[in-house]
Amino acid sequence: MAIQKHISLVLQLVIVALVFNRANGSSLKLGFYQNTCPGAEAIVMKTTANYIYQSPSLAASLLRLHFHDCFVRGCDGSVLLNSTTSNQAEKDAPPNLSLKGFEVIDAAKAAVEATCPRVVSCADILALVARDAIHLINGPFWPVPLGRRDGRVSIALESRSLPSPFANITTLKANFASKGLNVKDLVVLSGAHTVGVSHCSTIATRLYNFTGQGDTDPSLDPKYVPLLKSICLPNDKNTTLAMDPGSSQSFDEDYYKVVLKKRGLFQSDAALLNDKLASLYVKLYPSLMGTNSLKIFKIRWLKWVKLGF
């Protein structure tokens, strides 16, 4: 049952991620490189494993890297491009300065290039690495349609469209709606916060100066605040803490239970309870996991693949 729960959650994340691939047209398909580079996926998996076994926490970073790529211009690898003297790229935009895992993508690309030069796109490698990284920390394995084309345009200002951890529910819904995503998609993708850590600086305002009066965010469980303050002192920019305490390296549904307890780390987590529909999904999500929901979401996923997403 635990495995089914994990698969159901990831399938939903994959379903939503496929929406971001519209720019790639109908070229996405399973086994895209079967003839041109048949060993590509195995090479990427092996390279990713070399990194994840040494540093399991990288899995969450790689999933986040893939999400940040997809939310701007679709899953085209544009977040991997470097800035030039005449252009500041996405990588150097404020929301992306804390991204990690670029070295894994570079290593996987180099390994693939050594076997199949100029065949496999960086965008596809990023999608595979994110999937493989989650699988390597005992998460599920899901099929990744391939055939993405690498983007050649990367503009830092466009990264403003990325959902902010400080956003309220109105802003979050607008962010996702601009990508053709609904409230359910917002809740599903927020579930990715079940893995990984964040810096104390991200929650400093919630703990010490929420309204500018030296107060604490009232949406936080008051019994949880003392613990957070003991970990995150004022002006602490270096300490990290788990986004899903006790389960930060397990890709599961515990995140929603944390949110319901009003212990979500970010303002954007707490914001999910400020919308009737979003709150309903947060409450129902764990109980909906299982065989039936797995079949439903698999059907949706296959439908979107057929449409070329």
Catalytically annotated residue among 66, 68, 135, 199: 68
Instruction: Map out the domains of the chain as residue ranges.
Output: 39-161, 169-305
CB-CB contact of 101 with 65 (8 Å):
yes
CATH code reported for the domain at 169-305:
1.10.420.10
- The CATH class that applies to domain 39-161 reads mainly alpha
Residue 178: what pLDDT? 85
The DSSP code sequence of 69-104 is HHHTTSSSSGGGPPPBTTB--GGGSGGGTT---HHH
72 is in an annotated binding site: yes
Is the model more confident about 95 or about 295? 95
Residues 49-99 have pLDDT tens digits of 999 999 988 998 998 999 899 888 888 999 999 999 999 999 999 999 999
Q: Which residue has the tokens 């909906």?
A: 288
Output 182 or 132, whichever has higher pLDDT: 132
Q: How far apart are CA 39 and CA 17, in angstroms?
A: 24
| pLDDT computed for residue 287 by the predictor | 67
According to the annotation, is 244 in a ligand binding site?
yes
What does each C-alpha distance from 1 to 135, 188, 250, 288, 292 come to in angstroms? Answer: 17, 19, 15, 12, 12
Contact residues for 155 (Cβ-Cβ < 8 A; gap 6+) = 87, 88, 89, 90
* Residue 125 predicted with pLDDT over 90: yes
Residue 193, annotated as binding a ligand: yes
User: pLDDT band at 164, cuts 50/70/90?
Assistant: very high
- Is 66 a known active-site residue? no
For residue 156, which of 218, 104, 94, 109 has the smallest C-alpha distance? 94
Q: Cβ distance 217 to 267 under 8 Å?
A: yes
90 is in an annotated binding site: yes
Residue 163 among known ligand-binding residues = yes
